[in-house]
Structure 1
C-alpha cells in the first residue's frame, strides 16, 4: 500500500445476532493479484441490507442461512481505484490508478465455459455477493476482483458517486427485469407497485429507455408518488384508487411489477392484470407468497421473478445515466448514520434511494 492509504478503517458490518450494522475498526485490505483496492465514495442502501438484520422479517431467516461470520455490509458501491493487484494491468488495462468505477455485486466467474455468464446471467453465477456474504462497501476502502468493477463513463462531478452506487442495483435490477426478462415493448401497459428506489427507477426505465406507451405508478404513500410523473409515469394511484383509475381510462395491464413483494401487493397486481398478462415480483417484503394456481391457469397468467442483472447491462445503465436518459433520485447520508437509515427504511420514511458517504478520519 502507498503511504496515503491508512492501515485501518471503520467499517459497518454484519454481526450474527445483532439487529443493526456494527461499527468495527478493521484493517484496510491489500488487493490480491486479481483485485483492485477502491476508495469508496458512496455505498448504496438496499432493502436487502435491512433484511440482513431485521430479526422480525421472515426474509431475514432465509437470508441468514449459513451466515455465521462477520462481514462488511453494502452491495452497491462506487469509488476510485487507489491500488492494483499485480495481475490487473495485463488482464484489465483499462483499470488504472485513479479510475472512477462502479462495483458489480456478484463475484461471478465470467468464464467462457460458464453457462450463466455467457447467457447474460452472471447475476446467477455464484452465491458469493459483496456485502451479502463477503466484505462489501460500507467502508472507506474495499478490495474487489477486477472482473467485478466497471468503468464509469464520466467523473464524480458529472455522475455523482451516490447515483453510480444506486445504479449498480436499484437501476440495474429493474432494467434487467424489464428489458431482458419481460422484453417490454412500446405497445405495452405497465403497472409499477411500490415507488421506492427500484420502483422509481423502473418507471423511468419503462418510459425513457424502452418507450412503453403507458406506465402506471402505485404506492400506498402519497409522498412516494410526488414527482413520479417527472420520471415518466402517465398515471398515479394509491392501491384504493387503482381499479377505478384503470377502468376510467380503459387501461388493461400487460405487465405488473411488484417492488414490495408482500401478499397485499401481489394480490393487488393479481386483481388488475389482464388475461394472458405477467406479474413480475422483485420485492422481498415476505419470504413466501400465496399464488392461486386455478385462477392463474384459467387466466393464463405468467408469474416471474428475477435477481440483479448482468455486468453488460450495468454498462448500459451507466451509459443511459451519462446520456441523461435516466436520472436516479438519491439522498446522500453520512456512513455513520447507517443504522438510522435502515430504521427509516423499516418505518417507510424513505422516498428515494439513500447512499452512504464514508467519512475522513
Structure 2
C-alpha cells in the first residue's frame, strides 16, 4: 500500500510503498477515506534530533476517517464496511482518566509506550491503518469523510478548550480567537453554536479574517502592533473574558496576556517551540488563569460529530491526493491553505 511517511530527520515527507498491515487481536484495519493535515505535523518534522521521539519512518496523520476493512479477533463492536472516525489520543483504557473517557490525559500512556496515530504509531496518511481498539472509533454515518477526519482534532481540540470554560462564556462575555486556521475557524463556529459570547477573531491574513466573519466572528482584527489596543477598545477597556490562542507563538501568547480581563482565562492551544507564558503577580491580571489544554475526550468527539451532523459546523477543506502529500505539506508550511488540508488516499 502507499503511505506518506517522514523518513529522515530534516527531510520532506515522502510517498512510499509498504506492506498492508494485518489486525491483531482487538485491533481494526481501516481503509482510510480521509486524513487531515495539521501544523503539529510540521512541528514534529522540525524537531532537532535530541528532541525527536516519534520513531522513523513515521506514517503521518493523526486525523483520520475510514471504513472498516477487517476485524481482529475478539472485535464485535463494528462490521466490515462501517464508516468511522478515529479518536487520536490513545490511552491505556484503565486508569482513572481513561475510565472517564479522558484518554487525552491518560497517566500511563507514556510508561506503556502507547502513542497516537501519526505521533508514534502509524498514522492515517496511508491507504490502510491499524486502530488499536474499538473504543477509538466513532460512527459517522453518511457524513463526508473529508469533513469527518478534521473533526478528530481541528474540531475536537477547540471544542475541548471551549467546553472547559463554558461557565465564563455567558451573555456579555467576549471570546478572542487568535489564528483563523484549521482549528481557529472551527473554534469560532463552536463558540457560536454553544456559547453566548461575542467573538473577536485575530489573524495576520485578510483572507482568513474574511473567513472568520463568514463563519460567525462578530469582529475581525488584523494581528499587528495595534491588535492588543484594538481588542481593549472593542471590549470597552475591560479585556477579553477568554482568549483562545490557536497559534501559540511568543508574540500571540504575549498579546493574550495583554488583553485578557481580570479573572479571565487564556487557553494556549497552538504549539511553537520555545514559546511560553510568563505567569505571576503583575504579569497577568488578578484572577486570570493560563492553561495548555490537550486534544479532547472521547465523549467530546461524539458531541463534535453530533454538531457536524446537525449542520452546525462548516469545515473549510482543501483535498489532496496521497501522491500530492509532500506538496500539500509545503503549502501548509507556507500558509496558503485556507481551512484544513485533507489527504484523500484513493
What TM-score results when the alignment is normalised by the length of structure 2?
0.91
The C-alpha deviation readout for 1:193-236, integer Å capped at 9, x for no partner, is 0110111111111111x222301001011111113223211111
User: CA shift at 1:106, angstroms?
Assistant: 2.1
* 1:290 to 1:314, Cα distance in 2 relative to 1, 3 A: closer
Moved over 6 A (4+): none
CA distance in 2, matches of 1:37, 1:63: 33
Aligned equivalents of 1:306 and 1:248: distance in 2?
27
2:137 corresponds to: 149
Provide the C-alpha distance between the structure 1 equivalents of 2:175 and 2:292, rounded to a whole number of angstroms. 16
Map of 1:269-288 to 2, 5 A cutoff? 269-288=256-275
* Structure 2 equivalent of residue 207 of structure 1: 192
Match of 2:207 among 215, 219, 223: 223
Matched, 1:117 2:98: yes
Pick aligned residue for 1:194 from 159, 179, 183: 179
Give the secondary structure class of the aligned counterpart of 1:354.
Answer: strand
Task: Tell me by how many angstroms 1:281 deviates.
Answer: 0.2
The answer as to whether partners of 2:266 and 2:289 remain within 8 angstroms in 1 is yes
Q: Name the count of aligned residue pairs.
A: 335
Kindly provide the CA deviation profile for residues 25-55 of structure 1, in whole angstroms up to 9, marking residues without a partner as x.
111011112111111010100011111222x
Do residues 321 (structure 1) and 308 (structure 2) align? yes
Which residue number corresponds to residue 74 of structure 1? 61
1:239 aligns with 2:223: yes
> 1:97 aligns to what?
80
Q: Counterpart in 2 of 1:4?
A: none
Match of 1:299 in 2: 286
Shift of 1:314: 0.6
Q: CA deviation at 1:181?
A: 5.2
CA-to-partner distance for each residue in 1:255-304, whole Å, 9 max, x for gaps? 01111001111111111111221111011123331415232365332111
Q: Is the 8 A contact 1:258 1:282 kept in 2?
A: yes
Rate the CA distance shift 1:260–1:297 in 2: closer, same or farther, 3 A: closer
**Distance in 2 between the 1:215 and 1:262 partners?**
21
How far apart, in 2, do the equivalents of 1:236 and 1:225 lie?
A: 6
Long gaps (5+) in structure 2: none
Match of 1:160 among 144, 147, 155: 144
SS in structure 2 opposite 1:275? Answer: strand
